[in-house]
A and B are shown apart, each in its own frame.
Chain A
Amino acid sequence: MDIDLILRVYPFFLEAALVTLELALLTTILGLTCGSLGAAARMSRSRILRLIGATYVSIFRGTPALIQVFILYFGGPQVGIQLDSFAAGTIALGVNIGAYMTETIRGAIQSVDKGQTEAARTLGMSRWETMRKVVLPQAMRMMIRPLGVNINALIKGTALVAPISVIELTYTAQRFIGSTYKPFEMFLLAGLIYMAIIYVTGQGIAWLDRKARIT
């Protein structure tokens, strides 16, 4: 283990970690947005919206995320979408994880006892009111943990923008492996930072989950 080398290069990794964090945060926001819209579409009364929601989930979960990143970044300019690598990566990964979050959110909403909806409707609440005041508050509590699983996957998934040269952690590790021929040290350095990010995020989600519990 080359400690000297690690001490020399770690500032580059910390800088790259900020990019990874930024990617993860933006992807989470975009993913939650797409996931909420997707879940609403999948449970809508309109057949067309349901079909759109199902198609979205099926296509984005049925093909590799890396290919989705490539289509947007390399193929985008052909159809008039010119994005830099960071923006293309963030959008592709966000829309991708949104498909997984769609199913997570839908699952949580549908796991709320049907009797709750029936009772609220019987009491004269509208469909929307029932959703907003009765179903969603319960479903939100139940979706924190599974969404945490999605977010954990998404943090590791940010590495997929390394092949389009976003200078994040994995790209940095790859570059230093190429220039120093020390794959193990570089892996450990980047790996420990990823694990720290995932650990802290996991603790945050567990805290939210505890807060949201009704005891």
Chain B
Amino acid sequence: MGLDFSVVPSYFGVLLLGAGWTIAITIGAGLLSFFGGIVFAVAALYGHWTIRLPMRLFGWLFMGTPLLLQLFLIYFGLIQVGIDLPAFVAGVIGLGLHFAVYNSELIQASILAVDKGQYEGARTLGLSRGQTLRRIVIPQAVQAVIPPMGNNMIALLKDSALVSVIGVMELTLASQQAISRTYRPFEFYLTAAAIYYVINLGLEAALRRIERRIQASR
């Protein structure tokens, strides 16, 4: 059984729709991981210990176990407690939380590295503790870790393929559907890989632009 790519074009519509969902998942989970990362970092650093301790455990569990396992937990766990979310939402939450934990680690280190003088200066000027964090410390800390958070975003794009396993109709599952009708796995997975590669190039270019902007604004 040789290769025959001539069956691929008639499924372009299906694949591109899948690619659209892959991009939507990446953006949704990316935003969740960005803001979630900030919230987790602040809670882990400044929260009461009844918040800090569970956060630490949660972070540990999410950094020490495979994403696929976490997706199973979230998808089936939510069903078990009676919350029947659409697979897409469960996938976005799973991916978003996973990478929020990684972003939180970056942001925590970055917050601690912000010059103490900034904090003292803001407090002296009459800003409250919360205001100082929100307006002075966190913006600087987050800006400093945009490049490594960008790398996490790239990893997120590729890991979005995993949500196909819980039934989210993105590029990987769309390819599987085409394969189940044509029995041409090599051709379709290769095409999917090429599409992922192109999306990846686009994301990298976008991240480079954002980094340049931030550098220019400094």
Contacts and interface: CB of A to CB of B under 8 A. Distances in A.
B66 A78 contact: no
B73 A75 contact: no
Contact of A187 (B69, B158, B196, B201): B69
Nearest to B155: A153
B87 to A, nearest CB: 15
Contacts of B64: 156, 191, 194-195, 198-199
Given A159-B66, A191-B64, A183 B72 contact: yes
Interface string A161-204: 01100000110011001000111100100110011001100000
Interface stretch (B13-21, B118-126, B159-167): B159-167
B193 A66 contact: no
Interface residues of B, number: 38
Given A78-B2, A79-B3, A183-B76, A159 B69 contact: yes
B65 A194 contact: yes
Nearest to B1: A78
Contacts, number: 117
Q: Is the interface of B mostly helix, strand, loop or mixed?
A: helix
A170 B68 CA distance: 8
Interface of B: 1-3, 60-61, 64-70, 72-73, 76-77, 80, 158-162, 164-165, 172, 179, 184-187, 189-190, 192-193, 196-197, 200-201
7 contacts: A67-B189, A75-B186, A79-B3, A156-B64, A159-B68, A190-B69, A191-B61
